[in-house]
C-alpha cells in the first residue's frame, strides 16, 4: 500500500480515523511504504502482526515501520487515529532531535528497533494521557485545516510526542549501551539487507562473526540469516503488492541470486508464488 492513497503530492503527513463506523478499507494483514502511528483515541483495539497480537487501550500507540504486514482491529465503541508519515519527513524531523537517544532514533530513521524483542514495531504507553490526547487532536486539526505552515506545525507537535516517548523508553531501558549498539546494528541491516553479510557486519561493528551471531540471537531471538531473510521477504511482499515490477526484478532488488530461488523461498513463507499473490490481491 502506498502513501499516495492517503497523501496528496508533496504532502508528507496525514491522518485517518479508524472505527467500526468508519472502517479503513484496507483488508486484513497489509503492508505499506510509510510509517504508521496508530493512537487509540478512545476505547481499545487489537494490533495483529504476522507472529503476535497485542491489545491497546486508550492513550496507547504503536508505530509500525514500512513493509511490515499488520492489521488493526477496532473494538466496538472505539476509535483509532492513524497518522500516515512518509519516511523522508521522519528523517528530517529526527536528524538532530534524537542524536543522543539511539533506540527511538534508529527505529524511526533506520526503519526499526529491537528494543521490545521484535523487529516490527514500537509500543508507546501514555506519559500524560490528557496532555498527549490534546497534542494528537492538535495534529489532526492542523492537517485538517491545511493552513499556511500546517505540516511544519503538525510535525513539531508530533515531535513532542516522540520526545516524550523516547524519554520514557530511555528511562525504562536497563542496558542503554546494549540497546544503542543493537539498534545501530539492526539499522545497518535494515538499510543494506540486499547485500549485507555477517562478516562485513561484524567488521563494521568490531565483532567476530561468531560473537555477532550470538549477540543478535541473544537480544532478538533471531540469527543473522533469519533477520536478513525477514527483511528481504517483507520488502518483496510489499513490492509484489504495490508495484508492477517483474518477479525477476523484485528478486534482484531484495538480494536473491535468481528468480527461481526467490519464488521458492517466497512460496515457503507465504504459501503461494509472487505471481499468485499479486493476482489474488488484485482480484480482491
Q: Under 8 Å CB-to-CB from 72, ≥6 apart: which residues?
A: 18, 24, 38, 45, 46, 47, 48, 80, 82
- Mean pLDDT is lowest, of 25-34, 114-123, 200-209, for 114-123
Half-sphere exposure of 267 (CA within 13 A, CB side): 11
| Residue closest to 169 by CA, chosen among 221, 110, 93, 116 | 116
Instruction: Give the mean pLDDT of the chain.
Output: 82
Average pLDDT over residues 221-229: 89
| Residue closest to 65 by CA, chosen among 4, 118, 25, 6 | 118
End-to-end Cα spacing for the chain = 14
Q: Are the CB atoms for 52 and 59 separated by under 8 Å?
A: no
Q: What is the torsional sign of CA 83, 85, 89, 92?
A: positive
Place of cell 515531535: 159
Global pTM reads 0.64
- Mean pLDDT is lowest, of 24-28, 102-106, 120-124, for 102-106
Reported as a single tens digit per residue, the pLDDT across 154-180 is 999 998 888 787 666 655 554 556 767
Instruction: Look at strands 79-85 and 35-42 and give their pairing.
Output: antiparallel
Determine if residue 205 is left, alpha or beta; phi over 0 gives left, psi from -120 to 50 gives alpha, anything else beta: alpha
pLDDT at 82 over 70: yes
What DSSP character marks residue 109? H
Q: Is 133 exposed, middle or buried (0-12, 13-18, 19+ CB in 10 A)?
A: middle
Q: Which domains does the chain have, with CATH numbers?
A: 3-172 (2.60.120.280), 193-284 (1.10.10.60)
| Residue closest to 26 by CA, chosen among 65, 109, 112, 84 | 84
Amino acid at each position: 500500500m502506498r502513501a499516495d492513497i492517503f497523501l496528496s503530492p508533496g504532502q508528507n503527513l496525514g491522518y485517518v480515523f479508524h472505527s467500526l463506523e468508519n472502517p479503513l478499507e484496507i483488508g486484513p494483514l497489509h503492508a505499506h511504504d510509510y510509517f504508521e502511528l496508530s493512537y487509540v483515541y478512545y476505547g481499545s483495539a487489537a494490533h495483529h502482526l504476522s507472529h503476535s497480537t497485542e491489545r491497546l487501550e486508550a492513550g496507547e500507540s504503536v508505530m509500525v515501520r514500512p513493509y511490515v504486514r499488520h492489521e488493526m482491529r477496532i473494538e466496538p465503541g472505539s476509535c483509532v487515529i492513524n497518522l500516515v508519515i512518509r519516511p523522508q519527513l521522519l528523517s528530517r524531523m529526527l536528524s538532530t532531535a534524537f542524536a543522543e537517544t539511539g533506540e527511538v532514533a534508529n527505529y524511526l530513521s533506520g526503519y526499526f528497533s529491537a528494543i521490545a524483542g521484535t523487529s516490527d514495531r514500537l509500543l508507546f504507553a501514555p506519559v500524560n494521557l490528557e496532555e498527549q490526547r490534546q497534542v494528537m487532536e492538535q495534529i489532526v486539526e492542523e492537517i485538517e485545516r491545511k493552513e499556511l505552515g500546517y505540516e511544519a506545525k503538525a510535525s513539531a507537535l508530533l515531535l513532542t510526542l516522540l520526545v516524550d516517548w523516547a524519554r520514557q523508553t530511555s528511562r525504562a531501558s536497563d542496558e542503554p549501551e546494549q540497546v544503542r549498539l543493537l539498534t545501530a546494528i539492526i539499522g545497518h541491516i535494515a538499510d543494506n539487507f540486499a547485500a549485507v553479510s555477517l562478516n562485513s557486519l561484524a567488521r563494521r561493528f568490531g565483532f567476530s562473526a561468531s560473537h555477532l551471531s550470538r549477540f543478535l540471537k541473544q537480544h532478538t531471538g533471531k540469527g543473522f540469516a533469519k533477520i536478513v531473510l525477514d527483511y528481504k521477504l517483507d520488502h518483496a511482499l510489499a513490492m509484489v503488492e504495490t508495484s508492477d515490477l517483474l518477479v525477476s526484478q523484485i528478486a534482484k532488488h531484495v538480494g536473491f541470486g535468481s528468480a527461481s530461488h526467490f519464488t521458492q523461498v517466497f512460496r515457503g513463507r507465504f504459501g503461494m508464488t509472487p505471481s499468485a499473490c499479486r493476482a489474488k490481491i488484485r482480484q480482491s
